[in-house]
C-alpha cells in the first residue's frame, strides 16, 4: 500500500494573558509548566509514532494558545521530536502560530529549525479595539513582528483579523483590512467575533456596543471583495490566500484528510476514529493522557461531514463525487435553487458557495444535510 499523508496538530496551551473573547483551551500564569509540558508532548509524539509508520507527515501545525510564547529552544525541541519519530516530507508545511508581542529576531532560530510558515494573530489595526477585547499587543508591535518574521526568512505569512469587535465601524474595519494587506501577507483569515458563553466578553456584552448582524455581513462581503481585488482567492468561508498559499494543513480538515493531534484539547481523525485529549494541562503534563472523546466514524457521519466541509470551501461539492464516495445518490435540487438565488455557482459538475452564500453557509449546509439524510427521490 502506498504511503498515506498525515497532518500533525500540536497544541500549546499557554498565553501571556487571556483575551476577553477566548474559549480556546489555554492558560495564563502557568509558565512554570512550559518545560515539563514540552517534555510530555515529546513523549506523546514518541508514543504515537509507531501507529504512523505507514504515513508521511506533510503538514505540522503548532497552534494554541500562543506557541511563540514557548521560545526557540522548546519549539525546536518539538520539531526534533517530530523528526525523530515520523517521516517528515522534505517539503512539509510547518506552521507556527504567534502573537505580535512574542516575536523577535529569535525567529531566525525557528526558521533554521524547519518552521516555514507563521500565522500571526493581528486581529485589529486599532489599539482601542485591541484593548476592548483584552489583547495585550499593540499595532506598533504588529509591524515590528511582521518585519522580524520576514528578516528571519519566512516567505509564508498569514495574518488573522476579527470583524464585529466592540465599537468597530465599517470604516474602521476597512482600515484594518487595508492595513493588513499593506503588510504583504501571503494569507489572511477574517473571522467574525463570536460571543462564547462563559467568556468575560460574554458576561459584559450588555454594556458594550457591537456592530449588528447587517453591519457585520457588510464587513464580511466588503472584505471578500477587497481581498479578491488585491489578488487573494477566497478558498474557504474565512480564509483568503495568494495563489498556491492556501493553508495545506487546514485544507486537510476540510477535505477529510487524516491528522493526529497532541496536547490537551487536541483533536484527531486517524484510522477512521475521531478522538480528543482531555483539556487538563496538569494531568497531561503528568502524562496521565485521557481521552475526552473517542468514536469510530460511521459511513453516514462521514458522508454528512464531507458534504458540510466541502460546502465551506471554494472548490465546493462535486455532485457525482458524493455518489462515488458514499454509494448513494444526491439530490442536487436544493443546491440548484441556491445557484439560482446567487448563493452558489455551478461549474463543471461542482457547486460552490459565493461570498453571499458563505455568509449564510450555516443555514445552507444545515438544509443540504437534512436533504442528504432523506431518501433520494
Ligand atoms: S492569544 Fe489566542 S489563545 Fe491566547 S487567550 Fe488570546 S485568543 Fe485565546
Q: Give the H or E element holding residue 318.
A: strand 317-318
58 CA distance to ligand 1 middle (Å): 26
Average confidence score pLDDT of the chain = 95
Q: Which residue has the cell 454509494?
A: 327
62 CA distance to ligand 1 middle (Å): 14
pLDDT at 329 over 80: no
State mean pLDDT over 356-361: 94
What phi and psi, each to the nearest 5 degrees, are found at residue 195? -90, 100
Asked if residue 262 lies in contact with residue 255, where contact means CB atoms within 8 angstroms, the answer is no
pLDDT band with cut points at 50, 70 and 90 for residue 373: low
pLDDT at 375 over 60: no
Q: Name beta bridge partners: 204.
A: none
CA 96, CA 61: separation in Å to the nearest integer? 6
pTM of the entire structure? 0.96
Q: Find out whether the beta carbon of 12 lies less than 6 Å from any atom of ligand 1.
A: no
Name the DSSP letter for residue 314.
T
pLDDT band with cut points at 50, 70 and 90 for residue 146: very high
Q: Which fold has domain 4-254?
A: TIM Barrel (3.20.20)
Domain regions of the chain by residue span? 4-254, 299-373
Question: In this predicted model, what pLDDT tens digit does every residue of 170-181 receive, in sequence order?
Answer: 999 999 999 999
Among 156-160, 257-261, 371-375, the range scoring the smallest mean pLDDT is 371-375
Residue 2: the pLDDT is 61
Q: Find out whether the beta carbon of 15 lies less than 6 Å from any atom of ligand 1.
A: yes
C-alpha closest to that of 154 among 191, 187, 121: 187
C-alpha closest to that of 123 among 214, 22, 15: 22
Query: How many other C-beta atoms can be found within 10 angstroms of the C-beta atom of residue 130?
Result: 23
DSSP states along 25-89 = S-EES-GGGHHHHHHHHHHHHHHHHGGGTTEEEEEEEEEES-GGGG-HHHHHHHHHHHHHHSEEE
Mutational test site, ligand 1, from 20, 26, 64, 69, max ligand atoms within 8 Å of CB: 26
**C-alpha cell of 7?**
497532518
Mutational test site, ligand 1, from 13, 16, 21, 22, max ligand atoms within 8 Å of CB: 22
Residue 374: the pLDDT is 62
Q: Which atom of ligand 1 is nearest to the CA of 23?
A: 8
State mean pLDDT over 49-63: 97
CA 42, CA 33: separation in Å to the nearest integer? 14
CA 164, CA 183: separation in Å to the nearest integer? 22
pLDDT band with cut points at 50, 70 and 90 for residue 105: very high
Question: In this predicted model, what pLDDT tens digit does every residue of 60-77 receive, in sequence order?
Answer: 999 999 999 999 999 999
pLDDT at 106 over 60: yes
Q: Find out whether the beta carbon of 199 lies less than 6 Å from any atom of ligand 1.
A: no
pLDDT band with cut points at 50, 70 and 90 for residue 377: very low
Q: Find out whether the beta carbon of 100 lies less than 6 Å from any atom of ligand 1.
A: no
Dihedral Cα 164, 167, 171, 173, nearest 10 deg: -30
Residue 1: the pLDDT is 59
Q: Which atom of ligand 1 is nearest to the CA of 18?
A: 5
CATH of the structural domain 299-373, one choice from 3.40.1280.10, 1.10.10.920, 2.60.40.10, 1.10.260.40? 1.10.10.920
State mean pLDDT over 56-61: 98
Q: Which atom of ligand 1 is nearest to the CA of 65?
A: 3
Question: In this predicted model, what pLDDT tens digit does every residue of 238-260 receive, in sequence order?
Answer: 999 999 999 999 999 999 999 99
356 CA distance to ligand 1 middle (Å): 29
CA 251, CA 177: separation in Å to the nearest integer? 23
pLDDT at 93 over 60: yes
* 3-class secondary structure per residue, 224-288: HHHHHHCCCEEEECCEEECCCCCCHHHHHHHCCCCEEEECCCCEEEECCEEEEECCCHHHHHCCC
Amino acid at each position: 500500500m502506498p504511503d498515506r499523508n498525515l497532518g500533525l496538530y500540536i497544541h500549546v496551551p499557554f498565553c501571556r494573558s487571556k483575551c476577553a473573547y477566548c474559549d480556546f483551551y489555554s492558560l495564563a500564569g502557568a509558565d512554570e509548566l512550559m518545560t515539563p509540558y514540552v517534555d510530555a508532548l515529546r513523549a506523546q509524539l514518541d508514543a504515537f509514532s509507531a501507529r504512523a509508520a505507514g504515513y508521511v507527515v506533510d503538514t505540522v501545525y503548532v497552534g494554541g494558545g500562543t506557541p511563540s510564547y514557548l521560545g526557540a529552544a522548546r519549539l525546536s525541541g518539538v520539531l526534533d521530536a517530530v523528526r525523530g519519530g515520523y517521516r517528515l516530507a522534505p517539503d512539509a508545511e510547518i506552521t507556527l502560530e504567534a502573537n505580535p508581542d512574542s516575536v523577535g529576531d529569535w525567529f531566525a532560530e525557528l526558521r533554521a529549525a524547519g518552521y516555514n510558515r507563521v500565522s500571526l494573530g493581528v486581529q485589529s489595526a486599532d489599539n482601542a479595539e485591541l484593548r476592548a477585547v483584552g489583547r495585550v499587543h499593540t499595532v506598533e508591535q504588529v509591524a515590528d513582528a511582521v518585519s522580524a518574521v520576514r528578516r528571519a526568512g519566512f516567505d509564508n505569512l498569514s495574518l488573522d483579523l476579527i470583524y464585529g469587535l466592540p465599537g468597530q465601524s465599517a470604516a474602521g474595519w476597512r482600515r484594518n483590512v487595508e492595513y493588513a494587506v499593506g503588510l504583504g501577507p501571503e494569507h489572511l483569515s477574517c473571522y467574525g467575533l463570536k460571543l462564547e458563553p462563559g467568556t468575560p466578553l460574554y458576561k459584559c456584552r450588555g454594556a458594550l456596543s457591537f456592530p449588528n448582524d447587517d453591519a457585520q455581513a457588510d464587513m464580511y462581503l466588503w472584505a471578500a471583495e477587497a481581498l479578491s481585488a488585491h489578488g487573494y482567492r477566497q478558498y474557504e468561508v474565512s480564509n483568503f490566500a495568494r495563489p498556491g498559499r492556501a493553508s495545506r494543513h487546514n485544507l486537510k480538515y476540510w477535505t477529510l484528510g487524516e491528522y493526529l493531534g497532541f496536547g490537551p484539547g487536541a483533536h484527531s481523525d486517524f484510522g477512521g476514529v475521531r478522538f480528543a485529549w482531555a483539556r487538563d494541562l496538569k494531568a497531561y503534563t503528568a502524562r496521565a493522557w485521557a481521552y475526552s472523546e473517542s468514536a469510530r466514524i460511521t459511513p453516514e457521519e462521514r458522508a454528512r461531514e464531507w458534504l458540510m466541509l466541502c460546502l465551506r470551501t471554494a472548490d465546493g461539492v462535486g455532485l457525482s463525487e458524493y455518489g462515488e464516495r458514499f454509494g448513494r445518490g444526491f439530490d442536487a435540487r436544493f443546491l440548484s435553487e441556491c445557484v439560482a438565488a446567487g448563493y452558489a455557482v455551478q461549474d463543471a459538475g461542482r457547486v460552490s458557495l459565493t461570498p453571499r452564500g458563505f455568509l449564510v453557509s450555516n443555514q445552507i449546509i444545515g438544509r443540504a444535510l437534512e436533504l442528504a439524510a432523506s431518501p433520494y427521490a
